[in-house]
Amino acid sequence: MIRTKVLAGVFLSYLLITNSYAADLLPLAPGNAWTYRDAVTGESFNVQVGTQVLINDRLYHTLRGYVKELLLVRVNEYGNIVYWDEEKAQDVLLISFEAVPRAWWEAPKRECPQEGQTSGARRSHEGPAGRWDALDIQFRTSGCADIGDESEQFVENVGMVRRVVTSFAGPRTFDLVYARIGTQVISAGNVGSFKVTVLDSRSPGFWTVTLRIELPAGTAIKVNFPSSQEYDARLRDSDGRILWSWSADKLFLQAQHARVIQGGVLAVLEVPQPPAVPEGQHAYTIEAWVTTGRNEPAFAAVTGVTVP
């Protein structure tokens, strides 16, 4: 049975009561997702909030994509974002939204050792997804050259709207181009998406997983496949181990073919649930993607589920 929605509502209410300001700057609720793109290079990255985990009577969310490592995060009593460090068995500061003049805080889990400084004054943000007054965080790097984050901007009820990074080719600006925050959707221009949704199956011990491509009305895309396989899916545990793959017991014709897609359901799969364990709930991740060729656009999606 999936209990993510119930826990999400309880935890979101708790955040709104205890510290709505910080929670709004990075809305932590299962399914929230953001996409950022550099307009010059076309490079992009995604950030996603996943399932919840209970540690020492506190609820944490899985946060993927904000840094390279998958983290368990929550809003602490000071309104900042912290993550659970399993080795230290304690919370560690990830993002500080507190504006302390001339104070720098350690910004962990980035590509280089960095420190952040949160500005007390708001800055005007204008990007492809909208215009806002944003909280600005500046970063400085030690021990690395031509690599690291320069700045980030956050907006209440939206999340991070811009990240500027240093690269060998110069600064790159990743602006928010798409976000799904609860029932709110923010997009820049026409947006298509590939989604994976999970429901309890009518067959006990299984999840029904739906793969869906959504495109703007009246549009279509032509996708090339290197074989007769058009999609795949797999189930991972919280340690990243693959427990099940849809294609593991299947054979595919090794012949190229093309398909014109206008949106809609691509496939419906039955995914076996891992057996329940006596220690309590366990979190899992279901990944799905379209198996296009190497030089073709990539379509992928991920979501979290729990087994009581």
Please report the DSSP string for 53-85 in residue order. Answer: EEETTEEEEEEESSSSS-EEEEE-TTS-EEEEE
- The answer to whether the beta carbons of residues 290 and 194 sit under 8 Å apart is yes
Domains, in order of start, for the chain: 4-187 (2.40.360), 193-307 (2.60.40.2360)
- Closest to 174 (Cα-Cα) out of 150, 191, 146: 150
Q: What is the pTM of this model?
A: 0.60
- Residue entry with tokens 């999606």: 301
**For residue 151, which amino acid is it?**
S
More confident: 264 or 94: 94
**Contact (CB, 8 A) for 212 and 233:** no
Residue 250 CA to residue 16 CA, distance in Å, equals 47
Please report the pLDDT score of residue 48 as a whole number.
95
Instruction: State the amino acid at position 224 in one-letter form.
Output: N
**Can you read off the two tokens belonging to residue 24?**
């709004």
Whats the size of the chain, residue-wise? 308
User: What is the distance of C-alpha 97 from the center of its chain?
Assistant: 20
Q: Quote the pLDDT of residue 291.
A: 94
In which band, very low, low, confident or very high, does the pLDDT at 104 lie, cut at 50, 70 and 90? very high
Classify 233 as helix, strand or coil: strand
Q: Comparing 91-100, 127-136, 265-274, 296-305, which segment has the lowest mean pLDDT? A: 296-305
User: In the prediction, which pLDDT does 4 show?
Assistant: 36
Lowest mean pLDDT among 61-65, 88-92, 258-262: 258-262
> What is the pLDDT at residue 111?
87
Closest CA to 22 of 130, 120, 154: 154
The number of beta carbons lying within 10 Å of the beta carbon of residue 38 is 18
Q: Looking at the DSSP assignment, which residues form a beta bridge with residue 305?
A: 284
Say which range, 23-27, 66-70, 174-178, 287-291, has the weakest mean pLDDT. 23-27
Name beta bridge partners: 271: 207
Judge whether residue 12 has pLDDT over 90: no
The CA distance from 160 to 179, in Å, is 10
